[in-house]
Amino acid sequence: MSLSGEQFIVPGGSALADLEVLPADRAAQPRQARRWYRQPALMAGIVIMGLIIATALSAPLLASYNPIALNLNATLLGPSSHHLLGTDQLGRDIFARLLYGLRLDLAVGCLAVLFPFTLGTILGSLAGYFGGWVDIVIMRLVDIVVAFPFYVLVIALVFVLGPGVRSIIIAITLVGWVSYARIIRGEILVAKRQDYVVAAQSGGLSSLRIMGRHLLPNVITQAIIYAMSDIVQDILAIVTLGYFGLGVPPPTPDLGSMINDGQNFLTTHWQLTTIPGLAVVVVGLGLSLIGDGLADLIRPGQS
């Protein structure tokens, strides 16, 4: 037996060190093991979306053409060093239109998630916390909205309100809030029976404070996870509305209207439709990856 003393000391010493870890540090360890950069899906999504957002934001620097300037001497050109992705039937630079279109669609998409998220969270909290007639009124509203297919109602609303960014956001807000309201209401129904809520009530805190400071921070993660998948749906909805001519009025570039414009030239100039279509696919992929990764990160043990 020629084992050196060190070999005994090292494992023993480290075991002792583990035992001395404070409760605070021990609780923090599993969190560290799930660091966000260890999630391949989340990481890939962040890289994709980071690139897209960076390009979209720097559109004025990257695009050397005005996206709405016509040049009827240079219509339907193929890709070249002058026009990276060619030009459309009115001689507009496709690369410039793509970047500005992405910029608009992403911005509208974010707003179109933020508003239903806020509205749905507020109404869902009220319904879940107060119950009674408040709950009945809000949930019947939810039932009415849910009875219609998403696109039918959004298109009908945009049709009534008239095309444009504002109507799109209003329409998606009026239709999209129901999902958030349902999620938050369900979570609050469970959470409001917890002792900490009764404790907050017996501390004389107002209902508003209990909802905002005590309940929402405990239940909001579910809504955030849903928002990540919802934003994909909303961007698709915006593109779809643009395709139907209910989006942003021309000549402002928008991926949906670009796909629609290129449709007439599909057999001869397929890139007019394919390029904005691919852009939508890549954006959807990036956001979905972020959503999945985030869900895994926030809901450990369920992945």
Partner 1 sequence: MTDPILAVRDLHVQIATRRGTVRAVDGVSLEVASGEALGLVGESGSGKSMTLRAILGVLPAEARVTSGEILLDGVNLVPLGNTDLNRIRGPKMSMIFQEPMSALNPVMRVGRQIAEGPQVHLGYNKARAAQRALELMRRVGIPDPERRFRAYPHEFSGGMRQRVMIAIALSCDPEIILCDEPTTALDVTIQDQILRLLAQLCRESGVSLIFVTHDLPVVAQVCQRVAVMYGGELVERGEVREVLLDPRHPYTLGLVRSAPDFEYVRESLVPIPGSPPSLISPPSGCRFHPRCEFAEEDCRVSATPLRPLPGGRSTACLHYERCQEAAAADRVRR
The Cα–Cα gap between 218 and 227 comes to: 16
Please report, as residue ranges, which positions from 27 to 56 form the binding site for partner 1 (by CB under 8 A): 27
Among 201, 229, 252, 288, binds partner 1 (CB under 8 A): 201
Question: Which H helix or E strand runs over 124?
Answer: helix 94-130
Residue at 40: amino acid letter: P
Please report, as residue ranges, which positions from 218 to 257 form the binding site for partner 1 (by CB under 8 A): 218
Interface with partner 1 includes 204 (CB under 8 A)?
yes
Q: Which part of the chain contacts partner 1 (CB under 8 A), choosing from 42-50, 201-209, 233-241, 242-250?
A: 201-209
Interface with partner 1 includes 80 (CB under 8 A)?
no
The Cα–Cα gap between 168 and 97 comes to: 20
For the bound state, the minimum distance from the C-beta of residue 25 to partner 1, rounded and expressed in Å, comes to 9
For residues 189 and 158, the answer to whether their CB atoms sit within 8 Å is no
The Cα–Cα gap between 94 and 269 comes to: 12
Interface with partner 1 includes 196 (CB under 8 A)?
yes
Interface with partner 1 includes 203 (CB under 8 A)?
yes
Nearer to partner 1, 3 or 24 (CB): 24
Report the chain's C-alpha Rg in angstroms: 26
Interface with partner 1 includes 15 (CB under 8 A)?
no
* Residue 145: CB atoms within 10 Å: 16
Residues near partner 1, by CB under 8 A: 23-24, 27, 131, 193-196, 198-207, 209, 213-214, 217-218
